[in-house]
Structure 1
Amino acid sequence: MLPNDATNHGEPDANVFQHRPFLEQDNQAHGYKLVAVGNTFVFPMAGYSKKIKTVAQIKEGATVAIPNDPTNLGRALLLLQKEKLITLKEGKGLLPTALDITDNPRHLQIMELEGAQLPRVLDDPKVDVAIISTTYIQQTGLSPVHDSVFIEDKNSPYVNILVAREDNKNAENVKEFLQSYQSPEVAKAAETIFNGGAVPGW
């Protein structure tokens, strides 16, 4: 049984594995009565490069490689907008596409690729920056916090969440679990385990 299905049926009381956009999609698809109780970690998407060290060094006409699946493509474009490299059409929420870019002052060339391919294009002389998820970058030994040019912060809409049922979101054991999770000890352990790949979202 999948975690949200199990939680919705009462066992376990809560789960930790997803961000809010995923929960909203799952609730809508399956009719679950699940709610976010609190934030856990952002496993950040970030921009990486072997050619530059700062956003200011991204040159006119630079090629930026991003994931091509809808959720992560939108996430990458929103990160570029956060860095003021592009502007997106309003009202597109978390799923904008390259067609929604309304301003691109540095005339960046957006290259859409499979997420698993992105770490390899860091060695491609034609690619200046690649925006890569934590899942794929950690396979290279690079750290989102220590090795990226730019990175999502704790205010990312993709922060992972503690999820419970609507009818038990205020239960004492759920509150205690959240309090224990959002602690310096857990943050320190995550820093060690994920090598900077988990940013506390609380």
Structure 2
Amino acid sequence: MAEGEIDLSSFQTEIFMDNYNRDHGTELTTIGYTVMAPLGLYSEKITSINELKDGDTIAIPNDVSNEGRALILLQTAGLIKLDTAAGLVPTTEDVVENRLNLQFQTLESNQTARALQDVTASVINSGMAVDAGFIPSEDAVFLEPVTEDSKPYYNVIAALSEDVDNEVFQTIVAYYQSEGTAKVIEESSKGSQFPVWDEAK
């Protein structure tokens, strides 16, 4: 999209896009919000975070936005504490309390589901969890809560900054943000992704 090969994209969270813009000097811009796809902690070895033991290994995605999001998820679950100065993009270096001495294995996000046999638990993106046969709302050991602080993790329809007011693009957004689309999202995600365009207004 940055090179003009396509006009719109709909695959990324806002924080992922913001990091991409900063790293690549691009000006991709949100023109509409789509879904919130909660991140989850999954396991083939435990059914509750209370079953985690000292020294257990957890796989997490290794890209900037998802690694930070995964660590914040583990903090929300009460497993670790992070340096508040790291904001929304902490790394494993920002873990300041780790009472179980958990070990973190950082992997490409599309590998965290495959790692389940080799680790105690794995943080997996919602779409990849569904592809792996999970129903996130039912199968996650711990699922990311959807709150007013979730907006950085809302997925977006993005365009180049000069196209923000493009009437055709705004029409596409309007058609996307419809009741019919919401029903398709619920069906295709097995009830594990949530339309957020109303919340984002």
**TM-score bucket (shorter structure):** 0.7 to 0.9
Q: Where in structure 2 are there 5+ consecutive unaligned residues?
A: none
TM-score by length of 1: 0.75
Secondary structure class of the residue paired with 1:95: coil
Q: Distance in 1 between matches of 2:167 and 2:104?
A: 48
Cα distance in 1 between the residues matched to 2:77 and 2:2: 34
Secondary structure of 1:50's partner?
coil
- 2:29 & 2:50 partners in 1: Cα distance? 40
Residue of 81, 87, 95 corresponding to 2:89: 95
Partner SS, residue 16 of structure 1: strand
Return the match for 1:45 from 39, 49, 59. Answer: 39
Residue 21 of structure 1 is aligned with which of 15, 37, 41?
15
Taking the aligned partners of 1:92 and 1:174, their CA distance within structure 2 comes to 35
> In the alignment, what sits opposite 1:105?
99
SS of equivalent to 1:137? helix
2:138 to 139, 146, 158: 146
Give the residue type in structure 2 aligned to 1:42.
M
Where do residues 52-201 of structure 1 align in structure 2 (5 Å cutoff)?
52-124=46-118, 127-154=119-146, 155=150, 157-201=152-196
CA-atom RMSD in angstroms: 3.0
The whole-number CA distance in structure 1 between the counterparts of 2:47 and 2:188 is: 25
Q: Letter of the aligned partner of 2:81 in structure 1? A: T
**3-state DSSP class of the match of 2:112?**
helix
How many residue pairs get aligned? The number is 194
Q: Distance in 1 between matches of 2:170 and 2:111?
A: 40
Residue pair 1:5, 1:32 contacting (<8 A) in 2 also: no
Structure 1 residues 129-185: Cα deviation after superposition (integer angstroms, max 9, x where no partner): 211223543342112223111223441523211223444434554444334323332
Using the TM superposition, give the Cα deviation of residue 200 of structure 1 relative to its aligned residue in structure 2, in angstroms: 2.3
Distance 2:159 2:62 in 1: 31
**Counterpart-to-counterpart distance in 2, 1:134 and 1:198:** 8
Give SS of 1:6's match. coil
Deviation at 1:78, TM superposition (A): 1.7
The one-letter code sitting in structure 2 at the alignment partner of 1:151 is L
Supply the AA of the counterpart residue of 2:82: L
Q: Percent identity?
A: 36
Equivalent residue of 1:131, what SS? strand
Shift of 1:96: 1.8
| CA–CA separation in structure 2 for the residues paired with 1:99 and 1:30 | 24
Q: 1:77: Cα distance to partner?
A: 0.9
